[in-house]
């Protein structure tokens, strides 16, 4: 039986909450982490029509990119449409979890999805903000318990090396000890020296998994007093995280052509182009999903001449033009790519963790509040 907390634990190995921008209300928002889940709806926004969809599809868990509770409720009066929506979710036992700017900064997350959709090459983090340190755990167990220990540590997230999981190293040795008075040894007798055939199991893991990895080690280890080494690796650079992505276009295009290409690949009916030089060639492109205009100084530092982001403000657009930067604004709703990109990732985890009774589905509704009206000249 998979619970909400199980999904959160796995997801936050991928996109830790500490990657979120300050003040961003990511994480569990409605319901209980102890709730069992069977049907998961993935959506960009949680709006009343999405809640109706979830109820009709008998969903018990919603994964959303945009937080449903972005501003604290001042009361719980259900005359307010937002409060009424919260009440509907609770009434139907639908839990809600939000991954916003932590998913934006995660490697393989939102901004990588957008960069790939734009077919950018040599993709790099636009503005690095955090490097996750790597730790190593070595513990010594009886030979017969080594396999169980490796499995437990892998289940806690240790041993993830790039596209490989459950990586570890083991070698045989002899453990020696003498149980003193008061000890309750798993092997041996009080006051008698013992020599035991043991296996040393070594794994590496990101520092934020220290507590669950140690908990897995202690709960699996048969000894009353496990022996283990834990240290930070100075020779491992660790994973780099940050907001936005930057790369080169896959083919030669003018800025005007690239804007049309952007409109096409994101299937939007219209967009805004900010440029003084639409016929210049695109040299380097930065992309940030959502409202990323404030990051344009980082775009300039990365020597990009085109910036793709949503919700560009009037005065910010003028500042970009003055700095010689062109911007393509396809809107905030292009982040709905989460509905198609997250599900294969979740299904991969479900297969690895034997979550056989969990189904993931994408919301079929558009939550874009804007409609583009084109004018024609007679």
Residue 376 pLDDT exceeds 80: no
Residue pLDDT, tens place only, 89-99:
999 999 999 99
Q: Which range scores top for mean pLDDT: 185-189, 206-210, 262-266?
A: 262-266
Burial of 180 (0-12, 13-18, 19+ CB in 10 A): exposed
Contact in structure between 237 and 131 (CB atoms under 8 Å): yes
Q: Is 3.40.1390.30 the CATH number for 110-130+242-330? A: yes
Q: Which range scores top for mean pLDDT: 25-29, 132-136, 160-164, 183-187?
A: 25-29
**Count of other CB atoms within 10 angstroms of residue 51:** 23
Record the tokens describing residue 352, joined without a space: 């690895």
Does pTM surpass 0.75? yes
* Rounded Cα–Cα distance for residues 123 and 112 (Å): 8
Q: Which long-range contacts (CB under 8 A, 24 or more apart) does 76-84 make?
A: 81/48, 84/48
Residue pLDDT, tens place only, 311-325:
999 999 999 999 999
Range(s) of the chain covered by CATH 3.30.70.120: 134-237
Query: Which numeric CATH code is attached to 134-237?
Result: 3.30.70.120
Mean pLDDT of 163-184: 92
Residue 182 pLDDT exceeds 60: yes
* Local confidence band at 295 (pLDDT 50, 70, 90 cut-offs): very high
* Rounded Cα–Cα distance for residues 153 and 242 (Å): 28
- Percent pLDDT > 70 in the chain is 99
Class of domain 4-100+336-362: alpha beta
Record the tokens describing residue 190, joined without a space: 């009080």
* Rounded Cα–Cα distance for residues 250 and 263 (Å): 16
- Percent pLDDT > 90 in the chain is 87
Residue pLDDT, tens place only, 31-66:
999 999 999 999 999 999 999 999 999 999 999 999
Residue 355 pLDDT exceeds 70: yes
Residue 237 pLDDT exceeds 70: yes
* Rounded Cα–Cα distance for residues 33 and 61 (Å): 10
Contact in structure between 303 and 125 (CB atoms under 8 Å): no
* Rounded Cα–Cα distance for residues 240 and 106 (Å): 9
> Distances from the Cα of 342 to the Cαs of 11, 141, 149, 151, in angstroms?
11, 38, 31, 26
Residue 120 pLDDT exceeds 80: yes
Residue 202 has a pLDDT of 97
Range(s) of the chain covered by CATH 3.40.1390.30: 4-100+336-362, 110-130+242-330
* Rounded Cα–Cα distance for residues 213 and 159 (Å): 10
- Quote the mean pLDDT of the chain: 95
* Rounded Cα–Cα distance for residues 199 and 205 (Å): 19
Mean pLDDT of 145-167: 91
Residue 232 has a pLDDT of 93
* Local confidence band at 166 (pLDDT 50, 70, 90 cut-offs): very high
Q: Three-state secondary structure along the chain?
A: CCEHHHHHHHHHHHCCHHHCCCCCCCEEEECCCCCECCEEEEECCCCHHHHHHHHHCCCCEEEECCCCCCCCCCCCCCCCHHHHHHHHHHHCCCEEEECCHHHHHCCCCHHHHHHHHCCCEEEEEEEEEEEECEEEEEEEEEHHHHHHHHHHHHHCCCCCECCECCCCEEEEEEEEECCCCCCCCCCCCCCCCEEEEEEEEEEEEEHHHHHHHHHHHHHHCCCCCCCEEEEECCCCCCEEEEEEEEEECCCCCEHHHHHHHHHHHCCCCCCEEECCCCCCECCCEEEEEEECHHHHHHHHHCCCCEEEEECCCHHHHHHHHHCCCEEEECCHHHHHHHHHHHHHHHHHHHHHCCCCCCEEEECCCCCCCCCCCCCCCC
Mean pLDDT of 141-166: 92
Mean pLDDT of 10-21: 92
Residue pLDDT, tens place only, 42-51:
999 999 999 9
Q: What is the phi/psi pair of residue 208, to 5°?
A: -75, -5
Residue 378 pLDDT exceeds 70: no
Residue 377 pLDDT exceeds 70: no
* Rounded Cα–Cα distance for residues 292 and 243 (Å): 9
């Amino acid at each position: 039986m998979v619970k909400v907390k199980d999904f959160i634990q796995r997801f936050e190995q991928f996109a830790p909450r500490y990657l979120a921008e300050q003040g961003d209300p990511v994480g569990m928002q409605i319901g209980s982490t102890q709730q069992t889940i069977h049907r998961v709806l993935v959506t960009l926004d949680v709006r009343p029509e999405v809640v109706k969809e979830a109820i009709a599809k008998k969903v018990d868990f919603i994964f959303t990119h945009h937080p449903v509770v972005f501003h604290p409720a001042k009361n719980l009066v259900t005359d307010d449409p937002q409060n009424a929506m919260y009440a509907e979710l609770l009434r139907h036992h639908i839990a809600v979890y939000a991954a916003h700017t932590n998913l934006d900064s995660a490697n393989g997350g939102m901004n990588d999805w957008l960069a790939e959709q734009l077919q950018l090459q040599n993709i790099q983090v636009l503005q690095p903000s955090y490097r996750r340190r790597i730790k190593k755990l070595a513990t010594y167990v009886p030979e017969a318990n080594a396999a169980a220990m490796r499995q437990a540590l892998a289940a806690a997230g240790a041993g993830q090396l790039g596209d490989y999981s459950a990586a570890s190293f083991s070698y045989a040795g002899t453990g020696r000890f003498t149980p003193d008075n008061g000890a309750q040894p798993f092997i041996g007798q009080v006051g008698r020296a013992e020599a035991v055939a043991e296996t040393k199991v070594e794994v590496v893991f990101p520092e934020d998994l220290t507590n669950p990895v140690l908990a897995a080690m202690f709960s699996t280890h048969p000894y009353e007093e496990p022996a283990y080494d834990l240290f930070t690796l100075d020779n491992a650079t660790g994973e780099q995280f940050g907001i936005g992505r930057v790369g080169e276009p896959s083919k030669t295009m003018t800025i005007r052509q690239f804007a049309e290409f952007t409109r096409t690949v994101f299937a939007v009916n219209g967009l805004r182009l900010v440029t003084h030089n639409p016929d210049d060639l695109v040299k380097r492109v930065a992309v940030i999903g959502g409202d990323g205009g404030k990051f344009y100084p980082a775009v300039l530092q990365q020597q990009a001449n085109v910036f793709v982001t949503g919700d560009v403000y009037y005065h910010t657009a003028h500042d970009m033009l003055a700095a010689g930067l062109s911007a393509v604004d396809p809107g905030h709703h292009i982040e709905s790519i989460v509905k198609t990109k997250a599900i294969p990732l979740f299904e991969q985890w479900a297969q690895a963790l034997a979550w056989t009774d969990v189904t993931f589905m994408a919301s079929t509704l558009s939550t874009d509040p804007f409609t583009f009206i084109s004018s024609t000249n007679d």
